């Protein structure tokens, strides 16, 4: 049976490690043509990726998503290689940890520019190509985007704003055939070398998440691809995230008490 992803050209930003890498590898297994991307992280020495690159089933491109010119070159190179673009998955992102009064303005801005402005620039550059294929744009948000988390305010802000980006862009593109979706992720298992930036920009190791709360990268990736296949506007992974969304909307005071006590 032919995969729905057969020969679909998919750009996954931030796909050289973590969840983005798992999404890209699953796409290769589904016979999609994958555009790997990172700002500076090299591709892992993975046999499936090496084979895909050698067989012209994948391409690896570098770009700083905060730079409009580099983003435009990224999209142009992908289209030049595969002659089309079907899906853009906005996965790339960073976070910072620290009290607002202590976090450097430059670090705060770096998080917003990478997570939010980067998604804006990628979408803006990709729209002309996606109009031709009636493709999809997906934004990966977080439960942190439903309620402002202490010490992670810049991250929460950037993820919250993706919903407004998604909703407004979906209305702007109505009638073009382009699907615009957003997926809210819970606690996805993280790589051992995953880090956040501290208040002055140093790398701060992020501890492994609680094994009873975290979801696997494999499960998260499959759910993300399913949401795109079904052209879902909004999806929560896991489903309990929808409950958190309701609680955050109706009982924000209770959540404030919860986080205040931590």
Structure tokens at 32: 């999609």
Q: Which residues pair with 136 in a beta bridge?
A: 87, 179
Q: Cα(160)–Cα(141) distance, rounded to whole angstroms? A: 7
State the pTM of this model: 0.92
% pLDDT > 70, the chain: 89
Question: What is the per-residue pLDDT for 139?
Answer: 98
The pLDDT tens digits for 107-149 are 999 999 999 999 999 999 999 999 999 999 999 999 999 988 8
DSSP 8-class letter at 201: S
Q: Is the pLDDT of residue 262 over 80?
A: no
The pLDDT tens digits for 154-211 are 999 999 999 999 999 999 999 999 999 999 999 898 877 888 899 999 998 887 767 6
List the catalytic residue out of 139, 152, 155, 184. Answer: 155
> Which residues lie closer than 8 Å to 194 by C-beta, 6 or more apart?
18, 205, 206
From the candidate CATH numbers 3.40.50.720, 3.90.550.10, 2.40.30.170, 3.30.470.20, the one assigned to the domain spanning 9-260: 3.40.50.720
Active-site residue 155, yes or no?
yes
Question: What is the per-residue pLDDT for 254?
Answer: 60
% pLDDT > 90, the chain: 79
Q: Is the pLDDT of residue 255 over 60?
A: no
């Amino acid at each position: 049976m032919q995969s729905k992803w057969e020969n679909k050209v998919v750009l996954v930003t931030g796909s050289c490690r973590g969840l983005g890498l798992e999404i890209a590898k699953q796409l290769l297994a589904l016979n999609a043509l994958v555009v790997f991307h990172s700002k500076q992280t090299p591709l892992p020495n993975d046999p499936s990726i090496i084979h895909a690159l050698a067989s012209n089933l994948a391409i690896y491109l570098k770009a700083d998503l905060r730079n409009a010119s580099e983003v435009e070159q990224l999209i142009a190179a992908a289209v030049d290689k595969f002659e089309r673009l079907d899906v853009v998955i906005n996965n790339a992102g960073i976070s910072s940890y620290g009290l607002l009064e202590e976090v450097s303005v430059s670090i705060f801005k770096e998080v917003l520019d990478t997570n939010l402005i980067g998604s804006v620039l990628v979408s803006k550059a990709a729209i002309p190509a996606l109009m031709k294929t009636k493709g999809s744009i997906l934004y990966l948000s977080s439960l942190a985007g439903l309620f402002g988390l202490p010490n992670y305010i810049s991250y929460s802000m950037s993820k919250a704003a993706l919903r407004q980006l998604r909703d407004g862009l979906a209305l702007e593109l109505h009638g073009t055939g382009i699907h615009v979706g957003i997926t809210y992720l819970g606690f996805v298992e993280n790589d051992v070398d995953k880090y956040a930036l501290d208040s002055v920009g140093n790398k701060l190791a992020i501890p492994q998440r609680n094994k009873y709360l975290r979801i696997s990268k494999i499960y998260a990736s499959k759910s993300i691809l399913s949401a795109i296949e079904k052209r879902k506007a909004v999806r929560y992974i896991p489903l309990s995230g929808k409950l958190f969304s309701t609680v955050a909307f109706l009982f924000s005071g209770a959540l404030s008490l919860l986080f205040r006590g931590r």
